[in-house]
Chain A
Amino acid sequence: MKITRRDVLKGGALAAGAMALGGPSHPAFAQGKELNVVGATFNLRDVILQEFTKRAGITVKPWLSPSAQARADRLRVAPVDTLETGADFMKYAWDDKLIVPIDLSRVPNWKRAPRLFWEGQETPTSPVGFGDNPGRLMYADKEKTKAKYIPYMYQFDSVGYNPDKVPAPNNVLSWGELFNPKWRGKVALYGIDWLGILDAAMGMQALGLLKAKDPANLTEKEVDTVILFLKEKKKEGHFRALWKAFGELVNLMAAQEVWIADAWWPVVVEVRKKGVPCRYAEAVEGYRAWAVGSCLSATAKNIDGAYEWFNFWLEGFAGAEQSKLGFYSPVDSYKKYLTPEQVRELYEGVGRDGGSIAARNAKIWTWNTKPAKQEYYTDKWNEFLAS
């Protein structure tokens, strides 16, 4: 990059201004060395950030929050280079023009992503999955040369349970098991409206209590049905707690306050580490999947750094590290960094609940979704909380 005299003058003026203000803004010439990233602690992990800094010579300045909304809103109020989020909030950020398209020709590894992320279906006959399907939503143009975000980790949520308390033949459970009255007082459900209602809808659909065409985008009448059912269950004391963050659910299951919940595989891993039995069921009806990735902020200053960041995530090191926690990487570059046994266990399903990644890719029932009737969802959910 050619540095012109103007740049130096601009940089100098900015530096003087910054020093006068004593403020945190950095002179323009140092911006190549910093990357402002907004994300959460389950992906912006120390080991990954250290490696990136080592390789790229760019210091990552993370802003962390467990609230997906807050992460997106951060782009409104502070200078941010990239936003790490899922397809649901990527949609939100895109609609509000907080992010801009990513040029896929600069992210060569994306070509190696499975068909699931190019067409939205792993095979032409596997279910598309209701809701915000990244493979269908992430491209900014018909030719698929530009993406709204680069997914670099994905997972399938199912029912997590304590096998000592909840019997499950062959580790297969239905989503409806969440509402089995036998587990009254020992159940946890996701506590944020769009996801709690979605999981409840899935459970009710499995039990035949609901006949929704699209469980991820319920009509108002269908939401009413779900909430009525949830209110009944709450009155019966069915739910021990609602969980909003990974750490909360781990605590709940490790303390055995909760025996069954809608969970992520990594939760199961953590609970087991604490000596409490926990398994992740193969859902009869299929999984709820989600994919988190990186978006380019509309106000990004270090665009080159951002592309290095995107490429780093698909290069394999980060993918391998996340895989060890139980997340999946869409690009198989992680193979470089994992032993063959690890690959067999984590991706091919040997000795792992739920089977191989291929099997899971083909069994997606719904995706994490920000529903069209979001406001109605929230109102009814608040009713549920108030009851």
Chain B
Amino acid sequence: MNPRKRSLVSHVLALPSALWMLGALVIPTLFIVWVSFWTTRTFSLESPLGLLNYTKFFNRPTYVKLLADTVQQSLLLMAITVVLGYAIAYFVVMKVRQPALQLGLFLALVIPFWTSVLIRTIAWIPFLGVTGVINQALLFLRVVDEPVSVFLYSRTGITLAQVSFYTLLATGPVVYTLRNIPPSLPEAARSLKATPLRVFWRITVPLTLPGILIGQILVFLNVMADFATASAIGGNKHAFLGNIVILLYDSGQLPFASVIAVLLMLCMLGGVAALLKVVDIRRLGVP
């Protein structure tokens, strides 16, 4: 097929998705951007526009600190999930022989997600709390004398819960790229007397790098935008930008909430662009 026709077919394939996103997302996003420039306090579609809210954001060290905190939390989660996610993916794909067991493990990982995240968040409280399962076990085993309160309503608790919710995002793409490695490659390397560790670092990891990266993008974006976990497990005491958007909305400051939203989106865009520099996952197919 000549390149011209191929391009046309691609455009046709891409069209439904593009149109959907343009209609259902871009328009509301433009609305948010527009609102961020409003200068009135009340909700008014005729509000005059200005940079008032943006200057306000950058003039307050609090908000800049919150931005830094949010990015920091994302990086922390990325670091944890990249290792944990890879370990799980590697185990399920490479180390488990029977396909039935593979499927079973996979389902065991996925099925909890079919219970509403809100319900699971509520269930964490009797799990992590002072009268919860973990503390009861620790007390029973005499590891501690008093219940440990740091698992819940703290930054630690938030991180623990986020690891639970987001690790699978890092695992999934790695699984796909692991499966795509032709087994002849590692075999060939081993026949050339390469140690398993070398095979891993020099062959497996580079070949699965796109998968790792896709996973990291997913984790990054989700943690940056997260508000429910931070709010529920953090006891509403801690805030990341995702919560702040909601808090500002709840106190009637829609324009300022929109500013935070816009800046959050720009950060995410920047983060993704940076990650793409490592591996351009948009290039598909064997090079």
CB distance from B47 to the nearest CB of A (A): 13
- The interface residues of chain B lying within 8 Å CB-to-CB of A379 are 60, 62
Q: Which of B73-81, B125-133, B208-216 contacts A (4 or more CB under 8 A)?
A: B125-133
Partner of B62, one of A92, A193, A382: A382
Contact of A386 with B62 in the complex, beta carbons under 8 Å: yes
CA distance A378 to B237 in the complex (A): 14
- The interface residues of chain B lying within 8 Å CB-to-CB of A347 are none
Contact of B65 with A240 in the complex, beta carbons under 8 Å: no
* Closest A residue, CB atoms, query B66: A386
CA distance A386 to B65 in the complex (A): 7
* Closest A residue, CB atoms, query B250: A69
Contact of B235 with A241 in the complex, beta carbons under 8 Å: yes
Contact of A382 with B63 in the complex, beta carbons under 8 Å: yes
Partner of B237, one of A70, A73, A241, A370: A241
CB distance from B145 to the nearest CB of A (A): 16
Contact of B251 with A257 in the complex, beta carbons under 8 Å: no
Contact of B236 with A241 in the complex, beta carbons under 8 Å: yes
CA distance A193 to B218 in the complex (A): 32
CA distance A76 to B252 in the complex (A): 13
- The interface residues of chain A lying within 8 Å CB-to-CB of B131 are 255-257
- The interface residues of chain B lying within 8 Å CB-to-CB of A374 are 251-253
Contact of B41 with A375 in the complex, beta carbons under 8 Å: yes
The reply to whether the CB of B176 lies closer than 8 angstroms to some CB of chain A is: no
Taking CB atoms and an 8 Å cut-off, the chain A residues in 94-148 that contact chain B are 95-96
CA distance A240 to B128 in the complex (A): 13
The reply to whether the CB of A239 lies closer than 8 angstroms to some CB of chain B is: yes
Q: Which of B86-94, B241-249, B274-282 contacts A (4 or more CB under 8 A)?
A: B241-249
- The interface residues of chain B lying within 8 Å CB-to-CB of A385 are 237-239, 243-244, 247
* Mask: chain A, 256-271; 1 = CB below 8 Å from B; 0 = not: 1100000000000000
- The interface residues of chain A lying within 8 Å CB-to-CB of B42 are 95-96
With known contacts A242-B235, A255-B125, A255-B126, A192–B250 Cβ distance under 8 A: yes
- The interface residues of chain B lying within 8 Å CB-to-CB of A251 are 122, 125
The reply to whether the CB of B152 lies closer than 8 angstroms to some CB of chain A is: yes
CA distance A258 to B87 in the complex (A): 39
Partner of B66, one of A73, A234, A257, A382: A382
* Closest A residue, CB atoms, query B68: A386
The reply to whether the CB of B156 lies closer than 8 angstroms to some CB of chain A is: no
CA distance A326 to B186 in the complex (A): 70
The reply to whether the CB of B69 lies closer than 8 angstroms to some CB of chain A is: yes
Please, how many residues of chain A have a CB less than 8 angstroms from a CB on the other chain? Answer: 36
With known contacts A96-B43, A243-B236, A386-B62, A377–B125 Cβ distance under 8 A: no
Most B-side CB within 10 Å, residue of A240, A374, A382, A383: A382
Secondary structure at the B interface, as helix, strand, loop or mixed, is loop
CA distance A239 to B153 in the complex (A): 9
CA distance A67 to B248 in the complex (A): 12
- The interface residues of chain A lying within 8 Å CB-to-CB of B132 are 255
CB distance from B224 to the nearest CB of A (A): 16
* Mask: chain A, 364-386; 1 = CB below 8 Å from B; 0 = not: 00000010001101110111011
CA distance A382 to B152 in the complex (A): 21
* Closest A residue, CB atoms, query B42: A96
Contact of B62 with A383 in the complex, beta carbons under 8 Å: yes
* Closest B residue, CB atoms, query A256: B131
* Mask: chain A, 235-252; 1 = CB below 8 Å from B; 0 = not: 000011111100000010
The reply to whether the CB of A277 lies closer than 8 angstroms to some CB of chain B is: no
The reply to whether the CB of B149 lies closer than 8 angstroms to some CB of chain A is: yes
The reply to whether the CB of A163 lies closer than 8 angstroms to some CB of chain B is: no
* Mask: chain B, 216-240; 1 = CB below 8 Å from A; 0 = not: 0000000000000001000111110
Contact of A386 with B69 in the complex, beta carbons under 8 Å: yes
Partner of A242, one of B62, B63, B237: B237
CA distance A241 to B248 in the complex (A): 20
Contact of A377 with B251 in the complex, beta carbons under 8 Å: yes
CB distance from A387 to the nearest CB of B (A): 9
- The interface residues of chain B lying within 8 Å CB-to-CB of A68 are 250
The reply to whether the CB of A355 lies closer than 8 angstroms to some CB of chain B is: no
- The interface residues of chain A lying within 8 Å CB-to-CB of B62 are 379, 382-383, 386
Contact of A255 with B41 in the complex, beta carbons under 8 Å: no
Contact of B153 with A240 in the complex, beta carbons under 8 Å: yes
With known contacts A96-B43, A255-B131, A382-B244, A69–B252 Cβ distance under 8 A: yes
Contact of B251 with A194 in the complex, beta carbons under 8 Å: yes
Contact of B237 with A185 in the complex, beta carbons under 8 Å: no
The reply to whether the CB of A191 lies closer than 8 angstroms to some CB of chain B is: yes
Contact of B236 with A242 in the complex, beta carbons under 8 Å: yes
Contact of B251 with A192 in the complex, beta carbons under 8 Å: yes
CA distance A88 to B248 in the complex (A): 17
CB distance from A149 to the nearest CB of B (A): 18
CB distance from A194 to the nearest CB of B (A): 7
A residues contacting B by CB (< 8 A) are: 67-70, 73, 76, 92, 95-96, 185, 191-194, 234, 239-244, 251, 255-257, 370, 374-375, 377-379, 381-383, 385-386
User: What are 21 sample pairs from A and B whose C-beta atoms fall under 8 A apart?
Assistant: A68-B250, A192-B247, A193-B251, A241-B235, A242-B236, A244-B231, A255-B130, A257-B152, A257-B153, A374-B253, A378-B247, A378-B251, A379-B62, A381-B247, A382-B62, A382-B63, A382-B244, A385-B237, A385-B238, A386-B62, A386-B65
| Given A96-B42, A255-B131, A386-B69, 15 more pairs with CB closer than 8 A | A69-B251, A70-B249, A96-B43, A191-B236, A192-B247, A192-B251, A234-B237, A240-B153, A241-B235, A257-B130, A257-B152, A374-B252, A375-B251, A378-B247, A382-B66
Q: Which 6 A-B pairs have the closest CB atoms?
A: A241-B235, A385-B239, A191-B236, A242-B236, A383-B62, A241-B153
B residues contacting A by CB (< 8 A) are: 41-43, 60, 62-63, 65-66, 69, 122, 125-126, 129-132, 149, 152-153, 231, 235-239, 243-244, 247-253, 256
